[in-house]
Chains A and B, each alone.
Chain A
């Protein structure tokens, strides 16, 4: 593992230089950062926003905001986390706008999970799980994605979603129960 640590230390200057270039307005450097992180950001938008087309628009919005606020971006490993948090805020803000416009997101009733045809879903065994996650009610889906997929703690999720940690836990348990039923396990 020492070699791995050495390798990471060797890589940090290259990453820092790239971020520094982007912070000074170099769009090419920012493009490289985009290409390195777009998969992570898009995965988060996709799972939180559910709709593939909307997820792509939100991913673009995240990187546009990132460019605008790049001056406050921490370097190194923190960059990925900074982008992910920005993605969460962008998606949740968009969800709130949608809810205001349509009153609510028309969630399916508990236990009735919609099978959303999606040609861009990841192939293989994960497909059923991805579909089942997409079919969760919005609150349960957001907490499940943030806790079980992204690894956030209930206290952090509570702050991000404006919930108490107890409510976050309850939503997580509900999501797991619904997914278990949906997957027939």
Chain B
């Protein structure tokens, strides 16, 4: 049976928390005796929750940067090619610049993830928890959790191997380089843990799976670069 057309606006306003207490009380009275309207409210509430779980970030199917770069007028030129990819305050780090830049990217991605986490907060139905039908059609938010957990497991397994390699090559690294890498790995690990802690502490919030995966991917890349850098330094020491 169809819901009452006269009540559709009020049901939506109820969902959006736009009703006054008196209007809300009137709607509650109506809902007590109207099953189709209760079902409609539950359905649009479920739709809102499902919408809230949509990814806020969708990567394009191809890398759009080359086309954008071609179209940039007046971009600054003249930096040495090998170092042009790093901010000025990193360019003095010499051989550590690639690793350091990765850390900056990780930190920025972590910031974006945390900011995204804060912005993607799904407020509990504003004041509608006591209405008939409230919570009747809650969408289980764990829909995207399993792939994320699998991706995390894969990255953790891959980085474990790199950590073993890092231990092997650490003899080739200068104490300064080793200190920078280890400190930055700790920063990355703490950022990952804090994101998960923040999400766990707020069941109504979600983490953008793609961004978390990017965080792991960048951590992996940082480790890979560190291993390569230390191996090269070791070879230079021996020669």
Contact = CB atoms under 8 A, between A and B. Distances in A.
Interface of A: 1, 3-4, 7-8, 10-12, 14-15, 17-18, 21, 24-32, 34-40, 42-43, 46, 52, 55-56, 59-60, 63-64, 67-68, 77, 80, 119-120, 122, 124-126, 129-130, 148-149, 151, 169, 172-173, 176-177, 179-180, 183, 185
B110 A14 contact: no
6 contacts: A4-B198, A8-B111, A14-B108, A25-B74, A28-B79, A120-B60
A7 B112 contact: no
B47 A64 contact: no
Contact of A46 (B47, B58, B65): B58
Interface string B50-62: 1111111111111
B114 A7 contact: yes
Nearest to B122: A151
Contacts of B138: none
A115 B211 CA distance: 28
Interface in B101-126: 104-105, 107-112, 114-115, 119
A80 B71 contact: no
Contacts of A35: 65, 105
B108 A36 contact: yes
B8 A27 contact: no
Given A14-B107, A185-B43, 15 more contacts: A14-B108, A24-B76, A25-B74, A26-B87, A27-B75, A30-B72, A36-B112, A38-B65, A60-B68, A60-B71, A77-B115, A149-B56, A173-B8, A180-B40, A185-B46
Interface SS, B side: helix
A26 B76 contact: yes
Interface SS, A side: helix
A69 to B, nearest CB: 12
B44 interface: yes
B12 interface: yes
Nearest to A177: B8
B115 A31 contact: no
Contacts of A68: 73
B62 A126 contact: no
Contacts of A185: 43, 46-47, 137
A18 B108 contact: yes
B72 A64 contact: yes
A40 B54 contact: no
Contact of A176 (B12, B67, B85, B86): B12
Contacts of A21: 87-88
Nearest to B86: A28
A175 to B, nearest CB: 10
A174 B79 CA distance: 54
Contacts of B72: 27, 30, 64, 67
Nearest to B50: A129
B157 interface: no
B64 A39 contact: no
A130 B111 CA distance: 27
A176 B44 contact: yes
A4 B116 CA distance: 13
A106 B110 CA distance: 42
Nearest to B15: A176
B9 to A, nearest CB: 6
A130 B114 contact: no
A80 B114 CA distance: 13
Contact of A31 (B47, B69, B88, B201): B69
Closest A-B pairs by Cβ, 7 of them: A39-B57, A25-B76, A11-B111, A43-B58, A27-B75, A120-B61, A185-B43
